[in-house]
Structure 1
């Protein structure tokens, strides 16, 4: 099986190296050349942390058509706000039988990607899927050098429509048995843990981020007892919305046990018992994916789904409003709202049907 990793940030480089070390033929695509210039020349990615090795990939390129050609598995590792754009770029080059996995989809990522392909009138028989989270906690120190802090035990993934889950399983699990097939994208979307951990933590640490340029440990120092209480409130709102859609969610504490084998009587304890977060530094500014990705593509759709089912999400909504004020963007308007997801005017049952079968 030939694999293409689309996106060469810290996650994309880590995933390309990880798959190459497993013996797969892997290529790496990135829009800008500067990020992958050393890899284009050497075909090598150095991995540190939980794995210490140097992987050799087939090639790295800025030519998307070349990257996708003949590749059975297409692993998209881009911020979720880029899913619609990359779907439209990939549309002309998709081939029958290819499997596209969004790593991760955040909330309703597969639906946004699916809609974009429909708009481009793509007729190819492809599988579109979204992962609930990214498989690694990782950071890139330099182009071609990446550190994997921890490999998660398991990550749920589902196809849209869910009828293609068997095809997804046959292809994806051959390369990465760490993935577990979930019933549908309702499950992966509503178990989006990034929505809980990222936006509120950085907003409540804004002064420290801007004063120190992120020179503190995001999880261990940024999540105090009081910050953890806010995260627990966000988690409770997320879980209540999920239950209204017939999904029994994992709480954040349950997810930490599932993904990292850590325990805690509350969220603060569970996070601080997770050595997989040790050494992960905070972002250097507010303009980073913890806000620019997680607010519009995680919190905004969860809030929208909540309104549909009559669940109030005051804490989630307050984080969206504060982030909008700080960044100068109306995330309610610009994020994955129901208009952008083509869900305006739909009933709860219709939305559930669309999130499962895509129609």
Structure 2
């Protein structure tokens, strides 16, 4: 596995391409939207992109190809690494599905049960790896270079279609996986963005609008009362994970597990340390923290609760109030297992049997 195609030309794609290039992969990019077009054109012209990795010297990363034509970069890839927002996964799956070939690996980072979407359009026997969050954090700076400011210490993933030997090879050669999830929903519901992005923005809405860009969510938003809300959401989440036979874990314990080498520390101390080093933002309410994580994450979460008979009042409230804030119907337009399993008379028994 030496040829990798990154689907998505945003910060996540370039940041991880840097990591994969260091591990000896040949890197190509597929652009699927008009976002970050200036940086796309710069990299296409230069044939490389530049990276500052956590304060080190700037480095150049040369690439094989960067294109908007999937036929150029999908069929010959060993791994297709999808880094677009989950809002784009339906359209991306349609774009690349016809070009996928047997034994390729499609990695989705992060994922809200998106392997179920890609399977609908793949015309080949493809393996899937879904991640709950990204390995690195950072962003494109001034359409000029990539700045990496954080690396997670540990990663979890869900393998679909892999033998034990193939999992071991993948973890050794591509991304080391510290913990394997039992199914796509365990990965989806341990995605931290579904909790802190949505609750942090919703309950800071007036502050975000009033501050006009001077808002530091991780430093400001998570006061003791807001942490109470997160803990209540965790209780709902863990009831559903328990019903699905998955591993239960609180948001703050999960954050410590991902973010810090020393697991003997208090989870809240680790979170506060992470918050101090976090970036400013968001600067408006029409931001992916609501526009993506409410319809793709919370709506999916609520639909699973509906299918297996578990009430989710905190999640329901966040969806309803976020919809009112932005005048959007996130529940109606969001991801739902009732849509994914269209045509199935879905109930708890059928759903649990379906996910194994």
CA distance in 1 between counterparts of 2:227 and 2:110 reads: 23
Q: Which of 52, 61, 73 is 1:48 aligned to?
A: 52
Equivalent position of 1:333 in the other structure: 332
- Look up the SS of the partner of 1:311 in the other structure: coil
- Look up the SS of the partner of 2:138 in the other structure: strand
Q: CA deviation at 1:139?
A: 2.0
Q: Could you report, residue by residue, the CA deviation over 1:278-297 in whole angstroms, capped at 9, with x for unpaired residues?
A: 13111221222111111011
Q: Which of 109, 115, 125 is 2:114 aligned to?
A: 109
CA distance in 2 between counterparts of 1:309 and 1:16 reads: 39
Q: CA deviation at 1:158?
A: 1.4
Equivalent position of 2:159 in the other structure: 159
Runs of 4+ in 1 over 6 A off after TM superposition: none
The reply to whether residue 77 of structure 1 matches residue 83 of structure 2 is yes
Contact kept in structure 2, 1:159 and 1:165, CA below 8 Å? no
| Change in CA separation of 1:57 and 1:165 when aligned onto 2, cut-off 3 Å | farther
| Change in CA separation of 1:337 and 1:186 when aligned onto 2, cut-off 3 Å | closer
Contact kept in structure 2, 1:104 and 1:133, CA below 8 Å? yes
Indicate the larger mover: 317-326 or 168-177: 168-177
Instruction: Map 1:281-300 to 2 at 5 A.
Output: 281-300=280-299
Equivalent position of 1:4 in the other structure: 5
Count of residue pairs brought into register by the alignment: 347
Instruction: Map 1:140-159 to 2 at 5 A.
Output: 140-159=140-159
Contact kept in structure 2, 1:84 and 1:116, CA below 8 Å? no
Instruction: Give the structure-1-normalised TM-score.
Output: 0.89
| Change in CA separation of 1:300 and 1:98 when aligned onto 2, cut-off 3 Å | same
Q: Could you report, residue by residue, the CA deviation over 1:151-203 in whole angstroms, capped at 9, with x for unpaired residues?
A: 11122111335x55654553464122256433332321232221111111011
| Change in CA separation of 1:109 and 1:169 when aligned onto 2, cut-off 3 Å | farther
Q: CA deviation at 1:345?
A: 2.8
Instruction: Map 1:61-140 to 2 at 5 A.
Output: 61-106=67-112, 108-117=113-122, 122=123, 124-140=124-140
Instruction: Give the structure-2-normalised TM-score.
Output: 0.89
CA distance in 2 between counterparts of 1:157 and 1:75 reads: 14
Contact kept in structure 1, 2:182 and 2:246, CA below 8 Å? no
CA distance in 1 between counterparts of 2:143 and 2:355 reads: 37
Indicate the larger mover: 325-334 or 74-83: 325-334
* Pairwise CA RMSD: 2.3
Q: CA deviation at 1:254?
A: 1.7
Contact kept in structure 2, 1:296 and 1:332, CA below 8 Å? yes
Higher relative contact order (CA 8 A, sep 6+): 1
CA distance in 2 between counterparts of 1:125 and 1:51 reads: 42
CA distance in 2 between counterparts of 1:213 and 1:172 reads: 43
Contact kept in structure 1, 2:115 and 2:128, CA below 8 Å? yes
- Look up the SS of the partner of 1:36 in the other structure: helix
CA distance in 1 between counterparts of 2:134 and 2:294 reads: 17
- Look up the SS of the partner of 1:340 in the other structure: helix
Equivalent position of 2:341 in the other structure: 342
- Look up the SS of the partner of 2:149 in the other structure: strand
- Look up the SS of the partner of 2:147 in the other structure: strand
